[in-house]
């Protein structure tokens, strides 16, 4: 009787081991399929990036949309937002930029583009909030300081605008608009001498571009 029970136990254990092996193989197959799918989506993303760079916007847009949402990268969401913004679909672009941020909260380009939308749409306070996030992540990004200054100018906060413009110029002093806006700020502050210095520098940069 004991031998019979032992035999049943051995058969049961063998069956359980076979089931475990089959289950592990199934998991392994699923994992392999997931990797293959991810690679396929990456290839689609790469093709879409190339089309976007070649200005084949419609094809790029459709390819990005063919990638499942959970597989889209922050860059995918950003470019979808760029396309929609260029088409004047502002609310949809904002949605895409926010999805980019949800995918990667350190993706400073999405904050920057959101700031640009809000600035152009006459919402400088919301723009300021986004530019500050950019600067926290990329303090060396001169254009974030410049656009933050533009938002302050719209609010009449010339002292803060001056600080950001000077920072932008320290980081990248060859951009003519940085100097022009700083000249404007100094003029608003009744500092004609400083305004003339930066206006002259602006004119010099413009002449060199011709």
Domain-embedded: residue 54: yes
Q: What is the mean pLDDT of residues 143-163?
A: 98
Residue count of the chain: 210
* 152 is a domain residue: no
pLDDT at 4 over 70: no
The mean pLDDT of 155-182, rounded to a whole number, is 98
For the record, the structure tokens of 22 come out as: 């089959």
Residue 18 lies in a domain: no
Q: What CATH code is carried by the domain that includes residue 56?
A: 1.25.40.10
DSSP 71: G
Higher-pLDDT residue of 96, 38: 96
* pLDDT, mean of residues 64-76: 95
Dihedral of the CA atoms 15, 21, 22, 28 (nearest 10)?
Answer: 170
* More reliable by pLDDT, 18 or 112: 112
Residue ranges making up the domain that contains 59: 44-105
Which spans in the chain are helix H? Answer: 2-53, 57-66, 74-86, 90-103, 108-120, 124-137, 142-154, 158-171, 176-188, 192-209
Three-state SS at 165 = helix
Per-residue pLDDT reduced to its tens digit, 117-152:
999 999 999 999 999 999 999 999 999 999 999 999
Output the average pLDDT for the chain: 89
Q: Residue 76 falls within a domain, yes or no?
A: yes
- Does residue 28 surpass a pLDDT of 60? no
pLDDT digits (tens, 9 = 90+) for 86-110: 999 999 999 999 999 999 999 999 9
- How many structural domains are present in the chain? 1
- Indicate whether 180 belongs to any domain: no
Nearest to 76 by CA among 100, 41, 52, 50: 100
The answer to whether residue 95 sits within a structural domain is yes
Q: What pLDDT shows up at residue 25?
A: 62
């Amino acid at each position: 009787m004991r031998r019979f029970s032992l035999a049943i136990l051995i058969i049961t254990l063998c069956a359980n081991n076979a089931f475990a092996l089959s289950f592990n193989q199934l998991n392994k197959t699923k994992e392999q399929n997931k990797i293959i799918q991810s690679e396929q989506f990456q290839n689609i993303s790469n093709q879409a990036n190339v089309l976007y760079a070649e200005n084949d916007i419609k094809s790029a847009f459709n390819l990005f949309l063919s990638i499942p949402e959970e597989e889209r990268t922050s860059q995918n969401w950003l470019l979808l937002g760029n396309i929609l913004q260029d088409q004047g679909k502002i609310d949809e672009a904002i949605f895409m930029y926010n999805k980019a941020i949800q995918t990667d909260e350190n993706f400073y380009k999405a904050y920057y583009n959101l700031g640009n939308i809000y600035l152009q749409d006459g919402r400088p306070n919301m723009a300021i909030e986004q530019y500050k996030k950019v600067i926290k992540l990329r303090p060396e990004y001169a254009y974030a300081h410049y656009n933050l200054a533009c938002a302050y100018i719209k609010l009449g906060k010339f002292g803060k605008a001056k600080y950001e413009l000077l920072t932008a110029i320290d980081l990248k002093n060859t951009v003519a608009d940085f100097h022009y806006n700083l000249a404007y700020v100094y003029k608003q502050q009744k500092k004609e001498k400083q305004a003339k210095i930066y206006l002259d520098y602006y004119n010099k940069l413009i002449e060199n571009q011709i």
